[in-house]
């Protein structure tokens, strides 16, 4: 996700900002930019790609000053390019802004500003912010008040930093919601601003964190903080003792643990801007380029993906078939092109890929293209090949995933597929208003439900201690939670090196039941969903063979206590979204077992984050 750095003091702002942005590279980005106040004017340099490109540009066109702001951008609206990179400048050139988050009502604001004569120079949602601030500044308001007025018009969650050449003694920053943190580093007659601690710890360890709906005005020698409606805030300065590297992981031991815990937020971002309850409960996925006509013409969808992404696709099959009544096949990407698949102009091939660079998935997409299918993708890395070669895409919006074992990039596509199914159902007329409204109401619950699963980590940790020495583990699931069994087993095997098998529970009696004895832990995924009763009888069969049963079950399910040795409770969840809440504890279980075994959780042996070979 995007990174922000700002500086006011007597050092060379360009250097401080570039160093800070470098420290945030781990967050992933696709373009970068910097604005510095030079000879009383704002000068900007922006470049697509890595920071070294921006550095080269600055070497060719130097930039110097004592106050400035910078940004690394992870594209959400508009392609990764220099013109879409932050900072964004107002028409007069007097105000400049960098921003994390999504302006959910940007289309509306853009229209309003265009009608006032504003000419937009990027495809970003962020640009509306700078024009709004400029609108109020030019009516005689000061920068702080103009920012306050502009922010009151924005929907969504944001971290924002603003600089103006009309008031060169300050930088203004604000935080609304959880999309972007803002931290202010207090130096000796200098102030630093950043989205994340690692950017500034090299310079100061005295920091102040902005809370949601607070605004900071950083001067060289003082800091004022108020609420967004102008009430003064008494703030506390903290002394941070982390080194910059461990600060990237924050309070977590591993990136995987951090990413598991980011899921309440990543799911909020996944939904943000896509659900419109004001215009009658509809889903908006504009980058997919899906028209009503196309929706009506699709005669089948083939989902192609590998590993975790393929498991998400299996959930997607159930959702799309159930909600939009379109037949869906799920193909492992490495198998697809070698079996001469039946695909034509009325087929849609949907590739799912976190990295967007997986060689097998790309090869399968090429095969689908050759056969004339429409190509869609669900992808996390904007600008990646899987995104670029598709006719339309859905971005996961869950930020960079660093741990090799995918976690937040599994739950985000589950929700994307749910939204896609709902949109297809809407366009094809398979949903009545009541059902669609219910689906959307359920969708809005999911970030909170994910958060409630995360709060239960201690219980999962206790079970991890019991299982840490096991050599084998069987995972069983049915229906929409059968892929949860596959994914839970994959998580365990890839980071803990314990042999784990995911199986459709109904298949157990056709073979794997022979394996069950006291030494075989059986993880059963048994939430209250339409398959619950069938699942229950399979748990009894495992129990009768002395298996040690660990059940993932819905809060309040008394019956499960009779058949399970250990229960991992999950909050009651609408069944079509239950794979989100059932997988989170299994991610935590795998994580804690691997951590207890002292393994390299983030970089397990033999695995790569992006598998670019066939
Ligand atoms: C997930 O934990 C794995 N590391 C792996 O299965 C991964 O999902 C697979 O390689 C696909 O990657 P992609 O999503 O980047 O295409």
CA gap 34, 577 in Å, rounded: 41
Specify the DSSP element, H or E, that contains 314: helix 307-324
Instruction: Check pocket membership of 306 for ligand 1, CB cut-off 6 A.
Output: yes
Q: Are 27 and 72 contacting, i.e. CB atoms less than 8 angstroms apart?
A: yes
DSSP-assigned letters across all residues of 334-346: HHHGGG-----TT
CA distances from 578 to 19, 390, 417, 449, 526 (A): 43, 29, 13, 10, 10
Q: 177 C-alpha to center of ligand 1: Å?
A: 31
Residue 331: Cβ within 10 Å count = 20
Ligand 1 nearest-atom number relative to CA 305? 16
Given the residues 155, 300, 466, 609, select the one marked as catalytic.
Answer: 609
Q: 428 C-alpha to center of ligand 1: Å?
A: 32
- DSSP reduced 3-state for 169: coil
CA gap 264, 186 in Å, rounded: 30
Instruction: Check pocket membership of 309 for ligand 1, CB cut-off 6 A.
Output: yes
Q: Are 415 and 267 contacting, i.e. CB atoms less than 8 angstroms apart?
A: yes
Nearest CA to ligand 1 atom 5: 307
Q: Is 230 left (phi over 0), alpha (psi -120 to 50) or beta?
A: left
What's the pTM value of the predicted model, to 2 decimals?
A: 0.72
Pocket probe for ligand 1: among 362, 591, 611, the residue whose CB has the most ligand atoms within 8 Å is 611
Nearest to 563 by CA among 546, 584, 578, 580: 546
> How is the chain split among helix, strand and coil, in percent rounded to 5?
40, 25, 35
pLDDT tens digit sequence for 531-559: 999 999 888 888 888 889 999 999 999 99
Which DSSP category does 210 fall into?
A: P
Is 609 assigned a catalytic role?
yes
CA gap 451, 612 in Å, rounded: 33
Q: 484 C-alpha to center of ligand 1: Å?
A: 15
Dihedral (Cα; 581, 583, 588, 594), 10-degree rounding: 180
Nearest to 38 by CA among 65, 67, 6: 65
Residue ranges with strand state E in 322-471: 328-332, 347-353, 374-379, 392-395
Q: Which two tokens stand for residue 474?
A: 């069987």
Instruction: Check pocket membership of 333 for ligand 1, CB cut-off 6 A.
Output: no
Ligand 1 nearest-atom number relative to CA 609? 4
Ligand 1 nearest-atom number relative to CA 307? 6
Pocket probe for ligand 1: among 309, 379, 606, the residue whose CB has the most ligand atoms within 8 Å is 309
Bridge partners (DSSP) of residue 207 are 185, 238
Instruction: Check pocket membership of 404 for ligand 1, CB cut-off 6 A.
Output: yes
pLDDT tens digit sequence for 151-202: 999 988 788 999 999 999 999 999 987 556 789 999 999 999 998 877 898 8
Q: Are 453 and 587 contacting, i.e. CB atoms less than 8 angstroms apart?
A: no
Q: 47 C-alpha to center of ligand 1: Å?
A: 30
Ligand 1 nearest-atom number relative to CA 361? 16
Give the burial string for 416-427 (b: 16+ CB within 10 Å, else e): bbbbbbbbbbbb
Residues of the chain with pLDDT under 70: 1, 26-28, 178-180, 241-247, 277-280, 383, 610, 612-614
Q: Which two tokens stand for residue 26?
A: 């781990």
Q: Is 383 left (phi over 0), alpha (psi -120 to 50) or beta?
A: left
CA gap 238, 216 in Å, rounded: 16
Instruction: Check pocket membership of 494 for ligand 1, CB cut-off 6 A.
Output: yes
Instruction: Check pocket membership of 307 for ligand 1, CB cut-off 6 A.
Output: yes
Instruction: Check pocket membership of 361 for ligand 1, CB cut-off 6 A.
Output: yes
Question: How far is CA 147 from its chain centroid?
Answer: 28
Instruction: Check pocket membership of 353 for ligand 1, CB cut-off 6 A.
Output: yes
Bridge partners (DSSP) of residue 379 are 353, 395
For residue 545, how many C-alpha atoms fall within 13 Å in the half-sphere facing its CB?
18
Pocket probe for ligand 1: among 358, 362, 489, 591, the residue whose CB has the most ligand atoms within 8 Å is 358
Q: 304 C-alpha to center of ligand 1: Å?
A: 12
Instruction: Check pocket membership of 582 for ligand 1, CB cut-off 6 A.
Output: no
Nearest CA to ligand 1 atom 2: 405
Ligand 1 nearest-atom number relative to CA 610? 15
End-to-end CA distance of the chain: 29
Given the residues 2, 398, 453, 473, select the one marked as catalytic.
Answer: 2
SS3 string, 351-383, reads EEECCCCCHHHHHHHHHHHHCCCEEEEEECCCC
Nearest to 145 by CA among 159, 158, 162, 157: 162
CA angle 304, 306, 307 (to 5 degrees): 140
Is 2 assigned a catalytic role?
yes
CA gap 466, 548 in Å, rounded: 11
Tell me what pLDDT residue 372 has. Answer: 96
Question: How far is CA 238 from its chain centroid?
Answer: 28
């Amino acid at each position: 996700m995007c990174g922000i750095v700002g500086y006011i003091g007597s050092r060379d702002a360009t250097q401080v900002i570039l160093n800070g942005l470098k420290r945030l590279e781990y967050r992933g980005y696709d373009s970068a930019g910097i604005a510095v106040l030079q000879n009383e004017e704002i000068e900007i340099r922006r470049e697509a790609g890595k920071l070294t490109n921006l550095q080269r540009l600055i070497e060719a066109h130097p930039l110097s000053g004592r106050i400035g702001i910078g940004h690394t951008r992870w594209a959400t609206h508009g392609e990764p390019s220099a013109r879409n990179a932050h900072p964004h400048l107002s028409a007069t050139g007097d105000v400049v802004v960098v921003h994390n988050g999504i302006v959910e009502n940007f289309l509306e604001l853009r229209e309003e500003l265009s009608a006032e004569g504003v000419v937009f120079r990027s495809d970003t949602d962020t640009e509306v912010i700078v024009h709004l601030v400029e609108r109020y500044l030019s009516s005689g308001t000061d920068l702080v008040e103009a920012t306050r007025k502009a922010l009151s018009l924005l929907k969504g969650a944001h971290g924002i930093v603003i600089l103006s050449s009309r008031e060169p003694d300050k930088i203004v920053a604000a935080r609304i919601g959880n999309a972007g943190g803002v931290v202010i580093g207090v130096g000796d007659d200098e102030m630093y601003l950043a989205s994340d601690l690692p950017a500034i710890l090299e310079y100061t360890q005295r920091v102040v964190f902005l809370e949601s709906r607070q605004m900071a005005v950083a001067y060289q020698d003082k800091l004022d903080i108020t609420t967004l409606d102008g009430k003064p805030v008494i703030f506390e300065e903290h002394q941070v003792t982390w080194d910059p590297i461990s600060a990237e992981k924050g309070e977590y031991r591993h990136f995987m643990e951090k990413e598991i815990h980011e899921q309440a937020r990543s799911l909020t971002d996944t939904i943000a801007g896509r659900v419109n309850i004001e215009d009658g409960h509809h889903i908006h996925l504009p980058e997919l380029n899906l028209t009503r006509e196309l929706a009506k013409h699709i005669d089948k969808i083939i989902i192609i993906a590998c590993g975790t992404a393929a498991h998400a696709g299996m959930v997607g099959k159930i959702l799309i078939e159930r909600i939009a009544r379109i037949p869906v096949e799920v193909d492992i990407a490495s198998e697809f092109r070698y079996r001469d698949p039946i695909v034509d102009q009325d087929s849609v091939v949907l590739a799912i890929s976190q990295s967007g660079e997986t060689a097998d998935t790309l090869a399968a997409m090429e095969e689908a293209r050759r056969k004339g299918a429409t190509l869609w993708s669900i992808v996390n890395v904007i600008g990646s090949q899987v995104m670029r070669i598709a006719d339309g895409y859905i971005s996961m919006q869950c930020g960079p995933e660093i741990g090799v074992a995918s976690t937040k990039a599994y739950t985000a596509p589950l929700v994307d597929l749910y939204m896609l199914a709902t949109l297809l159902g809407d366009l094809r007329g398979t949903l009545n208003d009541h059902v669609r409204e219910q689906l959307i109401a359920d969708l809005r619950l999911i970030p909170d439900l994910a958060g409630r699963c995360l709060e239960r980590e201690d219980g999962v940790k206790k079970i991890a201690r019991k299982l840490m020495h096991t050599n084998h583990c069987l995972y069983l699931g049915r229906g929409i939670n059968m892929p949860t069994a596959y994914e839970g087993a994959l998580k365990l095997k890839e980071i803990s090196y314990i042999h784990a098998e995911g199986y459709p529970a109904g298949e157990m009696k056709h073979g794997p039941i022979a394996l069950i004895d006291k030494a075989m832990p059986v993880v059963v995924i048994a939430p209250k969903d339409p398959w619950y009763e069938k699942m229950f009888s399979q748990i009894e069969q495992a129990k009768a063979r002395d298996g040690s049963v660990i059940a993932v079950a819905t809060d309040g399910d008394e019956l499960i206590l009779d058949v399970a040795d250990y229960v991992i409770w999950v909050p009651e969840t609408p069944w079509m979204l239950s794979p989100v809440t059932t997988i989170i504890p299994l991610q935590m279980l795998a994580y804690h077992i691997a951590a207890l075994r002292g393994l390299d959780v983030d970089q397990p042996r033999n695995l790569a984050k992006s598998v670019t070979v066939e």
